[in-house]
Amino acid sequence: MALVACDDAGSARQVPERALPAASASASAEPVQADPPCVEACVREGACRARGTRCVAARVEDCARSEGCRNDGRCTFRLDECVVARDEDCAEAVSCRTHGACVHRHGVCVPGCARSQFCRREGRCAEREGRCVVGGDGHCRKAAVCADEGRCHADGERCIATSNDDCRASTWCKTLGRCHAREGACIEASSEGGAGGSQQQRTQ
């Protein structure tokens, strides 16, 4: 909790509330109301009310509008603070979109890799040290990068193209002519590149 300015008696000054712009686009258009000593804490943490020497959360709406909700999923009002309490709190957070931290666990958002866009798109379905990474060929083969780009095999923490067959079956081959595997990616065959190149020459 953030400390606030105190008067000579040791208590936070109780003065008229100050309206602040909403911190979250998904929250109501109604302005956030904060006690002046708690302006920054209100925007950052949803702690908009002065109580003694602390700023505390007092309303569901203040949590929902806070940067803590938008960035880290701390959207649920509980007692006098904003906390992560449900998977739904994490689902719209920046940390979910950027790091796959989309599941609530012990009060924080952590990677829910198997259900994340990283798994569906890039095969990063396994959790390792708080990150979503590729766990094997099976993850790659089920991911969009296999069907789209021919990257169907795991190499460390990423999916790469190792097979001409995978490249030929990919969308990239059909639409861009990238039908040959080389250095982890599907590429266009050169005019000297064997059957693929000969076919390109015949169709030109």
Residues 2-17 have pLDDT tens digits of 444 444 444 444 434 4
Average pLDDT score over residue span 172-181: 96
Strand partners, 126: 133
Measure the N-to-C terminal CA separation of the chain; round to a whole number of Å.
Answer: 69
CA dist 71 and 44 (Å) reads 10
CA dist 33 and 36 (Å) reads 9
Answer yes or no: is pLDDT of 184 > 90: yes
Determine which of 79-88, 108-117, 138-147, 167-176 has the lowest per-residue pLDDT on average: 108-117
Answer yes or no: is pLDDT of 95 > 60: yes
pLDDT band at 33 (very low <50, low <70, confident <90, very high): confident
Average pLDDT score over residue span 121-148: 91
pLDDT at 173: 96
**Can you say how many angstroms the Cα of residue 179 is from the centroid of all Cα atoms in its chain?**
32
CA dist 64 and 202 (Å) reads 62
Listed residue (70, 68, 106) closest to 86, CA to CA: 106
pLDDT at 11: 40
Which residues contact residue 145 at a Cβ distance below 8 angstroms, ignoring those fewer than 6 apart? 121, 122, 123, 151, 152, 159
pLDDT at 31: 55
Q: Is the pTM of this model over 0.75?
A: no
pLDDT at 26: 42
CA dist 61 and 41 (Å) reads 14
DSSP 8-state symbol, 6: B
Identify whether the C-beta of residue 27 lies closer than 8 Å to the C-beta of residue 59.
no
Identify whether the C-beta of residue 69 lies closer than 8 Å to the C-beta of residue 88.
no
Residue of 190 and 196 predicted with greater confidence: 190
Tell me the chain's radius of gyration from C-alpha atoms: 26
DSSP 8-state symbol, 9: T
Write the single-letter amino acid at 160.
I
Average pLDDT score over residue span 58-78: 93
- The encoded tokens of residue 19 equal 């309206």
Average pLDDT score over residue span 127-136: 84
pLDDT band at 30 (very low <50, low <70, confident <90, very high): low
Answer yes or no: is pLDDT of 37 > 80: yes
Determine which of 35-49, 50-64, 123-137, 157-171 has the lowest per-residue pLDDT on average: 123-137
CA dist 23 and 181 (Å) reads 47
Answer yes or no: is pLDDT of 203 > 70: no
How does the average pLDDT of the chain come out, rounded? 80
- Give the CA count within 13 Å in the CB-facing half-sphere of 75: 22
pLDDT band at 147 (very low <50, low <70, confident <90, very high): very high
